[in-house]
Structure 1
Amino acid sequence: MKATVSAAMITAPGSGQGKSMVTAALARLHRNAGRTVRVFKHGPDYLDPMVLEVASGQPVYQLHPWMTGEQECRWRLVEAAQDADLILVEGSMGLFDGDPSSADLAKLMGIPALPVIDARGMAQTFGALALGLASFDPDLPVRQVIANRIGSSRHGDMLRESLPEGIELLGAVPRSEAMNIPDRHLGLVQAGELGDLDQRLDAAAEVLTEAGLEGLPLPVTLEAEKPELPPQLLNGVRIAIARDAAFSFIYRANLDLLRAMGAELAFFSPLADSELPEVDALWLPGGYPELHGATLASNKPMLEAIRNHYKASKPMLAECGGLMACVEELMDHDGQTHKLLGLMPGRASMAGRLQALGLQSLNTDQGQLRGHTYHHSRLETEWQPLARTRKVAGTEAEPVYSHNGLVASYFHGYFPSAPELVAGIFRGQVIRPLTDKEPDHA
């Protein structure tokens, strides 16, 4: 299948340049102009896509040549291009950071990189930086750049004049409160917590309009084959999924896969609901339980319902924040301790700095589940892990605990990378990890 569409990889020289808000504002600008905009995010990220979905009014999926696979990256873009007027891919970190980097994804997809450069305190060096990004990899086209956080129109003119031949200034974005969204220790504040997010995005879109960013990127031609449907391994299985302000780190592709394998999904709130839906299995995804410890601890009927699910030996997956909810005690950032589910012995406590970060995989004879870890808390438990993830990049591998149908880890899995393993977890099958001496299912 082929499609031609305007597309760009919105990237930057590094983190903190403002690319997330520029991407969101561009999506809202073109949506307000009546265009269909599809946005994707490079790499593992839950928080940026929440904002990008509100900005574009369309679903947002992850693209990562290793985690999601090259074939899926190509198909997602081609599928979106069937009815989209514009495709934007928000990069991660700096353009060439990581393996695979945002540049690697842009080259794989055949789309140009469009760097956002924070120009505060910068004049002619802006041109040198743009030239460096454009010439570092001759296989990656960089024909335009965006200047962010300029101080005046004269400042924007200086930046434009500094650019070498072949690189155009697409727009110069002034410093504005409209281009800011609050953040916290794991990234942006969740979109659902910002009651005025639509107004913020409309204001940001107006800033970009005034900066001359109404034009569409150059069109590109995309091509991919439609993937095969996954096996129907979850027919008749009903899965309860926690989804609220405390548990919200869920990839859309994970939900799509569960449904495609035949599962029926029922969502509930551990914060607000008093009972579980009638289900066969349970998923506690990641999120911010540390911000809601008191509310979670005070919801006794829900705690008891989840405990009863566990006592019945029904399958249960707990990822990161879900794992934190499963221990006896959770100590939050303020040093307050909250009594939670107590399915696992021990406690989770928030640390003053990042404890783990990076791409990882869980390698089993049922498949290689690819994903990542990213957390600010520490776990103390007497349980011995059934397995450990394998580090691909970043910090040390994560333990994976399994007992009485519960599978718990700080590791976040991308379900489509290992459908058979995921189906086995939700059917209560025993995970059979590979040893280091056995080959990967790469």
Structure 2
Amino acid sequence: MILFWFRRDLRLHDNTGFYHALKTGSAVLPLFIFDTGILHNLEDRRDARVSFIHQTLQDLHRQLEKQGSTLLVKHGKPEDVLAQLLEEYQVEAVYTNHDYEPYARHRDSHIGRLLQKKQVRFHTFKDQVIFEKEEILTQSGSPYKVYTPYKNSWLKHFDSAQAASLPSHTLLSQLQPHATTHFPTIQELGFEKSNIEVPMQEVSVETLQAYHNTRNLPALDATSRLSVLLRFGTFSIRQAVNMAREHNPVWLQELIWREFFMQLLYHFPESVEESFHPKFRNIAWRNNEEEFEKWCTGTTGFPLVDAGMRELNQTGFMHNRVRMVLASFLVKDLLVDWRWGEAYFASKLLDYEQSSNVGNWQWAAGTGADAQPYFRIFNPDNQVKKFDKEYAYIKRWVPEFQTTAYPAPMLDHSKARDRAISAFKKSIESFTTG
């Protein structure tokens, strides 16, 4: 028997590892593990992402039951769970899909040693990206650190066969017959159901075709909203790329940005903790906790910043244009360490993906690979004039805007900008002089 371990690929269709497991001819028993190493780090016991995963797994469980099989859902440390399952079942192999984040790579290294010791084969597959690891490198064999040449190389290497879907859902007769197993309640996992609903709709063709014209307008529901589904793998990256190629090359470029950040994290895992460029590792951050709290709660007196933070806190979503403005305001205007903002977003975003979150925060801070230059700082008032001049987005999330109840701006942006540029320059000078 083969165990197929679902992780961030929660679908039966077009699932690479699942397809290859079913193609072996051996009976396949699906498995999901609620990893306590991840869950214990979540402070919110009503985390919407846990609710979404739990609901998605229930749907998978029902689909598998119709095939006379089941979904084993376990809760614990993956190494311990798998060790126990090897005692209960005659397992010849474990199949799964690659994960590229530092924690996942460390976990899979331990799992690989366990399975090798037990003489159980461990097969993992590329599934959440088109290109991974060392597949796209510079001519000198090093990883790309600038997006545009990476994108050009990605497009040069791409052919339609790489985005061909895999009919894993047609092979379900290979599933291991199994009696219904206990499916843990969300309370048994130590959580409660969230009041935040994760949007399940798939992107429309009309939205994609207009994406390049409307994507920067936060008042419109004009982005794909697929980031959550790609994050948890309920939607295939191959399907997304095919849609982008057919309907809008600008959206394809956004998918390539996602892979650019993934390969950066894979090759430079230290970027989670350190500014990518050493010259920005000695910035004299102010890290004022009261000012950070105003940013978190959306009470800064800068309406686009406040609207974005309130949308995030209430829904777990934030428009990408607004994310950039918010990140710039925190790092540059308030001189708060980008890692504070990255951690806050990590706790709130439904579509949180470590590589994109770290990559985008370092981009906005000016400290990362192919980052916005440190001296280019978003003016939050000008961003309103460009992208929400009728205040439609702002009034949706900040109803007291333009009333006496709304606070005055917490700082002078021009002076804050000068302060930030000075702090970054001093960091560069200290690095240069040793």
Q: TM-score, normalised by structure 2?
A: 0.29
Task: Give the strand-richer structure, 1 or 2.
Answer: 1
Task: Give the helix-richer structure, 1 or 2.
Answer: 2
Whose RCO is larger (CA < 8 A, sep 6+)? Answer: 2
